């Protein structure tokens, strides 16, 4: 028979070992973060290397991560929208609708997110945060929270977002534009209150960590999400008591922080970058959202076509590949056997033949006078043709070759770079691509 002291010791050890995992769970926190979608609802599918990202894939990955880690915290540094093209407002509307379905816990406000007005952004009912809103006299308060408390088990996280006033697109305009406050006084008071309550503080900004430290200060900040790098995430690092992370842009990847906490501070961390290649399936629950977006893009495109038909007059400066073939038969044969010749069909295969962002690089002269605007009226300009690279050819043809083409003095590299840009062809290498079309 075991003696009582031994039994008590055994019971104490059993309780201790039962408690250890619980204590570890109470002192651990997992955060998935992202930033600067930059108006990319989905990646361009033209790259030979494959494509990364997209809201539909992100939904699948987040679902998988949440199933594996039920207390996962998901935040964004903002920068969801873009104003680079005529279709960006419509795309922005659907990006915001898509993010509602992703169920983020908090999203920072950046200047591009205000490009169509605060109301456009706020109407999406997303968990926006702007921690230094302006206080222009007579202006209505901005419809955003100055911070957001997120609770996970026993962990309390307070999220803030600092809008850099020096980066405001309104700075050069006359008058008062109090959308952001440059003074960090109220911001630091809120951080201090959060730390007194034992909360972990997370701050997002478009500034670098060095700029933020100089202009605002890092006191009472546990995690700083600094300004995004282009596409690829930076390494996590310590700067005094603050853990600094840097998201990538264009929505191609997600970052994950697995934190070990002690006395309200970060005692250790593991940082992981999560890619989103095409092996991650699109989320079926977002299919209706995606179909609706494509239908709206198509309707908008057809409306533009009708307007272009009414405006179109005179002779087009573009002649089409069939005319080029009469003098350049050998070069035409090389083109005809290439992927350039079926570039428009590749858009039709993925239901993107109505998206201006795609059409511009898959046709001749799109959005230019006399260029492609409709397959029925300007079908002879479908695909990546001779004039896509060398410029409009009518004057060259009418002069029987005596007048040079517009791009005659361009290097091959410059010609290819009209469409093979980093966003559309991130792995583009001239030496490996040129042999496919060499002529």
Query: Do both 271 and 325 map to the same domain?
Result: no
Residue 359 belongs to some domain of the structure: yes
Domain carrying residue 394: 315-436
pLDDT of amino acid 136: 55
* Res 139 pLDDT > 60: no
From 257, 280, 303, the end of a domain falls on 280
Asked whether the beta carbons of 46 and 420 are under 8 A apart, the reply is no
Check which CATH number belongs to the domain holding 86 and give it.
3.60.21.10
Identify the band that residue 289 occupies on the pLDDT scale cut at 50, 70 and 90: very high
Query: Do both 246 and 320 map to the same domain?
Result: no
Identify the band that residue 263 occupies on the pLDDT scale cut at 50, 70 and 90: confident
Question: Where does residue 425 rank: exposed (0-12), middle (13-18), buried (19+ CB within 10 A)?
Answer: buried
Residue 306 belongs to some domain of the structure: no
Give CA 144 to chain center in angstroms: 21
Span 7-41, pLDDT tens digits: 444 433 333 333 333 333 468 999 999 999 999 99
Residue 128 belongs to some domain of the structure: yes
pLDDT of amino acid 290: 95
Q: How far is residue 348's CA from residue 224's CA, in Å, rounded to a whole number? A: 43
pLDDT of amino acid 300: 86
Count, residues in the chain:
439
Q: How far is residue 24's CA from residue 29's CA, in Å, rounded to a whole number? A: 10
Report the mean per-residue pLDDT for the chain: 86
Residue 381 belongs to some domain of the structure: yes
Query: Do both 134 and 180 map to the same domain?
Result: yes
Span 190-209, pLDDT tens digits: 999 999 999 999 999 999 99
pLDDT of amino acid 64: 97
* Res 276 pLDDT > 60: yes
pLDDT of amino acid 243: 98
Query: Do both 119 and 33 map to the same domain?
Result: yes
Query: Do both 136 and 252 map to the same domain?
Result: yes
Least confident of 25-29, 251-255, 291-295: 25-29
Domains in the chain, number: 2
List the one residue out of 171, 277, 271 whose CA is nearest residue 225: 271
Q: How far is residue 385's CA from residue 332's CA, in Å, rounded to a whole number? A: 9
Query: Do both 83 and 207 map to the same domain?
Result: yes
Question: Where does residue 324 rank: exposed (0-12), middle (13-18), buried (19+ CB within 10 A)?
Answer: buried
pLDDT of amino acid 46: 65
Identify the band that residue 145 occupies on the pLDDT scale cut at 50, 70 and 90: very high
Q: What is the mean pLDDT of residues 424-429?
A: 78
Least confident of 253-267, 301-315, 407-421: 301-315
Q: What is the mean pLDDT of residues 161-180?
A: 68
Buried b / exposed e along 111-140 (16+ C-beta atoms within 10 A): bbbbbeebebbbebebbbbbbbbbeeeeee
Least confident of 124-128, 211-215, 422-426: 422-426
Residue, of 354 and 135, whose pLDDT is higher: 354
Q: What is the mean pLDDT of residues 331-358?
A: 85
pLDDT of amino acid 311: 59
Q: Tokens representing 30?
A: 């997992």
């Amino acid at each position: 028979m075991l003696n009582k002291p031994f039994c008590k010791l055994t019971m104490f050890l059993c309780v201790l070992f039962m408690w250890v995992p619980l204590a570890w769970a109470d002192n651990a926190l997992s955060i998935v973060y992202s930033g600067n979608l930059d108006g990319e609802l989905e990646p361009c599918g033209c790259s030979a290397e494959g494509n990364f990202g997209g809201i539909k894939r992100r939904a699948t990955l987040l679902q998988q991560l949440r199933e594996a880690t039920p207390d996962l915290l998901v935040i964004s540094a903002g920068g969801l929208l873009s104003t680079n093209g005529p279709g960006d407002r419509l795309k922005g509307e659907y990006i915001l609708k898509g993010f509602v379905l992703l169920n983020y816990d908090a999203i920072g406000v950046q200047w591009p997110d205000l490009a169509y007005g605060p109301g456009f952004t706020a109407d999406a009912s997303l968990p926006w945060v702007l921690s230094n809103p302006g206080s222009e006299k007579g202006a209505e308060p901005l419809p955003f929270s100055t911070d957001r408390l997120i609770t996970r088990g026993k962990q309390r996280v307070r999220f803030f977002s600092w809008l850099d006033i020096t980066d405001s697109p309104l700075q050069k305009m006359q008058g008062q534009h109090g959308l952001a406050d440059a003074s960090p006084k109220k911001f630091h008071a809120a951080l201090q209150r959060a730390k007194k309550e034992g909360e972990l503080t997370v701050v997002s900004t478009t500034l670098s960590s060095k700029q933020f430290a100089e202009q605002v200060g890092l006191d009472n900040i546990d995690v700083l999400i600094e300004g995004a790098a282009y596409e690829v995430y930076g390494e996590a690092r310590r700067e005094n008591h603050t853990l600094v992370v840097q998201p990538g842009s264009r929505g191609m990847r997600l970052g994950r922080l697995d934190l070990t906490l002690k006395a309200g501070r970060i005692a250790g961390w593991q940082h992981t970058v999560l890619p989103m290649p095409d092996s991650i399936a699109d989320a079926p629950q977002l299919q209706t959202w995606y179909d609706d977006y494509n239908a709206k893009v198509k309707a908008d495109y057809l409306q533009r076509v009708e307007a272009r038909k009414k405006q179109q007059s005179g002779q087009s400066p573009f002649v089409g590949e069939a005319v080029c073939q009469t003098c350049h038969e050998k070069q035409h044969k090389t083109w005809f056997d290439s992927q350039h010749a079926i570039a428009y069909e590749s858009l039709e295969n993925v239901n993107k033949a109505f998206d201006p962002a795609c059409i511009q690089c898959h046709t001749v002269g799109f959005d230019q006078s006399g260029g492609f605007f409709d397959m029925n009226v300007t079908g002879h300009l479908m695909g990546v043709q001779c004039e896509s690279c060398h410029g409009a050819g009518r004057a060259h043809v009418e002069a029987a070759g005596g007048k040079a083409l517009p791009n005659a003095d361009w290097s091959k590299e410059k010609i290819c770079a009209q469409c093979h840009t980093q966003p559309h062809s991130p792995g583009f290498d001239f030496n490996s691509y040129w042999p496919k079309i060499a002529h």
